[in-house]
Amino acid sequence: MHLKAKLGVTVAAAILALGFANVAQAQMKVGFVYVGPIGDHGWNYQHDQGRLALEKALGSKVSTTYVEKVAENADATRVITKLASSGHDLIFTTSFGYMNPTNKVAKRFPKATFEHATGYKRLSPNVATYSARFYEGRYVVGKIVGKMTKTNTIGYVASFPIPEVIRGINATYLSAKSVNPKVKIKVVWVSTWYDPGKEADAAKTLIDQGADVIMQHTDSPAPLQVAEKRGVYAVGQASDMTNFGKKAHLTAIVNNWAPYYVARTKAVMNGNWKQQDTWHGFKEGMVKMAPYNSVIPASVVKLAEDTRKGIISGSIHPFAGEIKDQSGKVRIPAGKKADDGLMAGMNFYVQGIDGTIPK
Amino acid sequence: MGTRLTLFRLESRPEASKAMVYLSPLIAVGMTIITAMVMFALLGVDPVDAIATFFIEPISTLDGVTELCVKATPLILIGVGLAIGFQANVWNIGAEGQLIMGALAGGGLALAFYDQGSILLVPAMLICGTLGGLAWAAIPAWLKTRFNTNEILTSLMLTYVGLLVLSYLVHGPWKDPEGMNFPESRMFHDSALLPVLIEETRLNVGWLLALLAVAAGWVLISRHIIGFQIKVIGIAPLAGTFAGFKEKKLIWVTLLISGGCAGLAGVIELSGAIGQIVPAISPGYGFTAIIVAFLGRLHPAGVFFAGLLMALTYLGGDSAQITMNLPNAVTGVFQGMLLFFLLASDVLIRYRVRVGRRNIHTRLSE
């Protein structure tokens, strides 16, 4: 009886404390929703690294919360609502499937601010979208893999046939071909962002078909691990994956969300946050290259670095014309560069890539 | 003939205590909470605080209570249907597939009428959804009654077929034409969305249908002749056959009921909570509902409470992450422990533990 009463009091106190914390906080609360586990060492891991960097940068002025493995269905709306209703002023939803849930919740909580990664809908004034120009990284990587392949075959583990992924394949191919006209690219679609088993199987298939460099647009280090075991090269995805395959890991395209997260949080704090669609690349530091493996000859590293610097200065554009699609139709005329609209909706393979995009 | 050296053995009790059969879910819940508190203490988290965050905080607001009902709706609906079948020893393991096919049947209708509203749309979707699940469950029913195939395998395998059909449709013909090739459908027309019961929340008519299913299931099992036949066939198939009950008919009835319930749950989830067709409609409700059915002692009223409890573990997982920064795995640990303790107490209700090995002579003389 005594114990029961004590328990009751503690529970009541806990609830009160929760309520009190909401009222008394001077800190800004920032919430993050991840589609996978933060331990994927890819997409979600990097977003969480961004969150930790935000905590480090703003210290006691900010407190952060994350919810991981939130399915892109009815659960997403519940979790985002929960974050908004528990006093989070700014909420980053970091997967495409959260687009409609984010917009729904944003409409209901006009005072909170929402940032959705990789989407295109901003239905209320408190929703912004952001993504990174990963294709710039692919273009740098293309120079390296084009030079490093001996079989002239690049294997590519791809997730879904959305413009983002197709753009990456095209950028890689165009870049590799510019340094190695004989290069071929083989793509396996795995229809998942994170499934180490499937990703590994795809990598094995590609190696069996003669690929000696494996690239991936999926989140786990499994393809890299397969490459390490089979003695071929690979390129890491989203984070520096060197530790998963020291010999195979040529470099990685690193998603660096920290500067953006810090800037947007500060903007909300200072009251000058504005709705916008952000698409940042090397120049703003949202895309970075992981250290280059020492097996890459110095001349190739220089080539890669010159490409990176050229992209930053604007002298190099991965989609500079003339670019034809598989049917031979000119998509980007000579002397022109692809604009953001064309790149955002890219749904064709460039000429020279074999195979078709699944419909 | 070798003798096995056993320190402990299970000896079946002459009769399982009836009270204990119903108490065991409560014991399981109690044991789960105690073990969880130990776990939290070892993690360096205040155990009382953690339990309050897990079980009380999620339902401390109106929003939370309504979300609990939204999450429990498919679990209860499917659980009731499955429980009826399980009582007749008909093991429909493929409710997840029936849910998906129901969602596609109802959702397909919504997509066909995406640009024109009608008050008939929602009722038509609910009917289509139910029929979709029912049709998917009819396949294992037909295979079992015609070829005596194992419905556990056929219904389970059809789940994967259903998932592939869903994946084909959202990546192909049903993809949003203005959706930049992302695998999801258009948003449904407002009139294809289930009416909301409490404004500003997601609590919808689907919850009432789940309650209705509980009541109907209860009447069927305890008052209707079919319910009696189901129970007899389940406990003593031979006696049922002698009494003239048609086993094949019961296989059909129970599979169609459970399939229809799952299909209805699918379309409710789409039309009530999601509002478009996405590649992952259900986070495994069809499978979780199997746990719910057993946790609820295969009784519709029990399923009701078990569904709420299971839903609460998901919401508690959110809270634990948001307010205590505990990892998502906590939810899985809770559900796993709950099932483990339930099975363990069920075993101990039917058997008692004896120390040492049984005398070999008594064994031979048996």
Residues of A with CB under 8 A from a CB of B: 7, 10-11, 14-15, 18, 31, 37, 65-69, 71-75, 77-79, 81-83, 85-86, 96-97, 100, 104, 108, 120, 160-163, 191, 344-345, 347, 358-359
Token couple for B154: 């056929």
Q: Give B354's strand partners.
A: B9
Does the structure show a pLDDT above 50 at B10? yes
**All domains of chain A in start order, with CATH:** 26-132 (3.40.50.2300), 135-254+290-344 (3.40.50.2300)
Write the residue in B61, B278, B325 that is nearest to A72 by C-beta.
B278
* CA distance to partner chain A, nearest, from residue B30 (Å): 14
Write the residue in B167, B200, B323 that is nearest to A191 by C-beta.
B167
β-pairing, A127-132 vs A113-117, is: parallel
Does the structure show a pLDDT above 90 at A315? yes
Give the number of A-B residue pairs with CB atoms closer than 8 Å.
106
Write the residue in B280, B319, B323 that is nearest to A71 by C-beta.
B280
Asked if B180's CB is within 8 angstroms of A345's CB, the reply is yes
Mean pLDDT of A227-247: 96
Which range (A2-11, A139-148, B302-311) has the least confidence? Answer: A2-11
For the four alpha carbons of B317, B321, B324 and B330, in that order, the dihedral sign comes to positive
Chain B residue closest in CA terms to A7: B48
CA dist A355 and B195 (Å) reads: 47
**Best residue in A40, A77, A78, A129 for a mutation probing chain B (most B CBs within 10 Å):** A78
| Domain residue extents for chain B | 14-43+311-351, 78-282
pLDDT for A312: 97
Helix (H) or strand (E) holding A179: helix A163-179
Confirm or reject contact between B53 and chain A (CB < 8 A). yes
Chain B residue closest in CA terms to A4: B48
Confirm or reject contact between B322 and chain A (CB < 8 A). yes
Averaged pLDDT of chain B: 90
| R_g (Cα) of chain A, nearest Å | 22
| R_g (Cα) of chain B, nearest Å | 23
Mean pLDDT of B12-19: 80
Does the structure show a pLDDT above 80 at A22? no
When comparing pLDDT for B167 and B7, which is higher?
B167
Mean pLDDT of A61-83: 94
Chain A residue closest in CA terms to B184: A97
Asked if B327's CB is within 8 angstroms of A100's CB, the reply is no
Contacts of A344 in chain B (CB under 8 A): 180
Amino acid at A156: Y
* CA distance to partner chain B, nearest, from residue A250 (Å): 30
Query: pLDDT exceeding 70 applies to what percent of chain A?
Result: 93
pTM higher than 0.80 for the full model?
yes
pLDDT for A23: 43
Mean pLDDT of A304-332: 95
Strand positions, DSSP E, chain A: 28-33, 62-67, 90-93, 113-117, 127-132, 153-158, 184-189, 213-216, 233-238, 249-255, 277-280, 287-289, 323-324, 330-332
